[in-house]
Chain A
Amino acid sequence: MDLELSATERAFRNEVRAWLAAHVPAESLPSMDTAEGFEAHRAWEAELAADRWSVVSWPEQYGGREASLVEWVLFEEEYYRAGAPGRVSQNGIFLLAPVLFEHGTAEQCARYLPPMATGERIWAQCWSEPGSGSDLASLRSTATRVSTGSRNGRGWLLNGQKTWSSRAAYAQMGFGLFRSDPRAERHHGLTYFLFPLDAEGVTVRPIAQLDGEAGFAEVFFDDVFVPDEDVLGGVGDGWRVAMSTAGNERGLSLRSPGRFCAAADRLVELYASGASTSSSGAAAGDRVADAWIRAQAYRLYTWGTVTTLAAGGDIGAAGSVNKVFWSELDVDVHETALDLLGAEGELVSRWTDGHLFSLAGPIYAGTNEIQRTIVAERILGLPKEPRPTEVRG
């Protein structure tokens, strides 16, 4: 057992560090959930991509460096330590791309991955519906088969409504699940589609989040035509395909330890700078220490996960363990900082921005209640909740 980096890995880390030091903007960019900030973040993605730093773990043909998992984690640590901008392309590169690699055709990969890597096309996830959140398998938006005689040849017509689609207010593309077999129930008969958000029949209504910015949107579908070549994976196989993204979102890929270690380090700096008021008292020190400890725990846990994955293992339901931990850590780090700031904790700052952002964590990517149920049933082996069919029956 060891935590030693190889010479190659250390060299990779140094290269990342040097590049970031030379390129990370001194001034933070405007919020990516404004029109101006969205474009500024896309420009940053293009800058990353120009030197092949936007998708380091991807194959070279799509703009990556074929970085190992260890190198990817090192990249992320350096990225957050450098205070680099948030990734406006994250839903595409972390949620959709792994599914394209696993289930997509060569043609789909060639068509969609390069413009995703450069930030030319930003993707939004269209999963939740007004009546289908935690119970995603109850979704009702439909895909209806159309063949000869329709506008663009063989394909599907999408109808219905999706919601809470992050980045959809400004994104160019969407991916989502639709019910393609009207007779099938729940996770059967669903199909995974890719579509442009400016297609005829798509209406995007931005929704202001807690911070007032249009971080997500409702998306309405009114006879939106999608050709066969934009079905991802098999027709009717959408649930299985989608669950491979759920694992990506919950587990390792989206929430790299670098983010929490950097936040904990900033918290320690805030405490050390004397921002701690007398009202926050000695207990504040305990909370700062706890936040730092938990960030270290997350970092080390991730190296364990990396070891498992590198050996060809599967993390399975452990992604749910991970998700509960990082999302609650993120909230606690920021709340500790706000308390250290005393009365000024009310004033909008990087800490309040980070705090509002953190509050979404326990909700998205499967609420923490859903995750705890998964941990209890699939890891501890406790009896399952009564299922909806049993309730109805």
Chain B
Amino acid sequence: MRFQLTEDQRDFENALDDLLAASNTVAAARAWTEGDHALGLGIWKRLTDLGVNGLLAEGGSLVDLVVAHEALGRHLAVGPWIEVAALSSPYPERVTAGDLLTVAAPGAGFALDADVAELVEGDVGAQLESVDATRRVFATHGRFMGDADVAALACAAQLLGAGERVLADTVTYVQQRQQFGRPIGSFQAVKHRLADVRIALDFARPLIYGAALSVSTDSTTGARDVSAAKAFTAGAGWQAARAALQLHGAVGYTQELDLGLWILRIRALVSAWGTPAFHRQRILQSLVGGRA
């Protein structure tokens, strides 16, 4: 019983954070929205060299995977990261080599980045528009292949990372912003709202790690635990985004401030790889089966 990251996992997390923090991920994301992939692909390459793409194919654990995806979410990384994680099992060599592969989520009629990445199933149709412009999506009728639970878990981890990021940025902002002669962060209404975000994210993380362990050990409850992680973290992440927007006020509601990129990313990821309603239903099905 040791329910905490190992030293190696913390070192890996720190190395990723350092690399991403030094990579101007926001500029890469803004360029990506215009179809200018150069910066984003440069980061993709550096992360490939660090071993992020090949984590699962090379025998890494799902805990390693969620550590990586939390960092990707925290830094607003662009590209089909969740998709290549899901495709690690059918395409281990290509994923490890850093090939850009993509696939539509089960039930979704579109796939991420199908212009720059190779769609492994189906034909690429017209470009659609995601609420998160850094997610370039294309219509497809192909079926899903790969591991949807790995994808949902990676998506939950990205939501956690993005939630942590907007919380941290908001905590900084409310200490700088002065109104009525005080930092707004000294007002109880502001504090309590941020405390609730802290609490929600603190309880999301163990669900994600727990699901990573139970899927890894082929537990029969693995799928249910992934659903718990995704449903809960979608709620916690969006709670963080709403609080961040509200407490930044009007400036948070602009495209100029980078915060908006994270808010829209979080909203898109809430819907992606199984809505909260889908995952709750899957949990109920597993708990009560045909009884209810």
Contact = CB atoms under 8 A, between A and B. Distances in A.
A297 B292 contact: no
Interface string A78-120: 0000000000000000000000000000000000000000000
A89 B167 CA distance: 41
B186 A308 contact: no
A276 B292 CA distance: 8
A388 interface: no
Given A1-B2, A308-B4, A293 B195 contact: no
A292 B287 CA distance: 9
A301 B210 CA distance: 9
Nearest to A287: B280
Contact of B3 (A3, A324, A376, A377): A3
A321 B202 contact: yes
Contact of A3 (B203, B204, B213, B228): B213
Given A1-B9, A5-B1, A383-B185, A372 B192 contact: yes
B219 to A, nearest CB: 10
Contacts of B204: 297
Given A321-B202, A372-B195, A376-B195, A3 B1 contact: yes
B198 to A, nearest CB: 6
A289 B9 contact: no
Contacts of A273: 291
A304 B185 contact: no
A61 interface: no
A44 B216 CA distance: 42
A2 B186 contact: no
Interface residues of A, number: 50
B283 A369 contact: no
Contacts of A307: 1-4
Contact of B198 (A70, A272, A290, A375): A375
Q: Which of A1, A6, A307, A325 has the most CB of B within 10 A?
A: A1
A285 B186 contact: no
A294 interface: yes
Contacts of A382: 171, 174-175, 185-186, 190-191, 194
A383 B174 CA distance: 10
Contacts of B188: 369, 373, 385
A376 B191 contact: yes
Rank and list the top 10 A-B pairs by shortest CB-CB distance, nearest first: A376-B191, A300-B206, A289-B280, A375-B195, A383-B186, A372-B195, A272-B288, A303-B3, A297-B203, A272-B291
Interface of B: 1-6, 9, 63, 171, 174-175, 182-183, 185-186, 188, 190-192, 194-196, 198-199, 202-204, 206-207, 209-210, 213, 225, 228, 231-232, 277, 280-281, 283-284, 287-288, 291-292
Given A375-B198, A383-B183, 7 more contacts: A1-B209, A70-B1, A272-B287, A285-B292, A379-B195, A382-B186, A383-B186
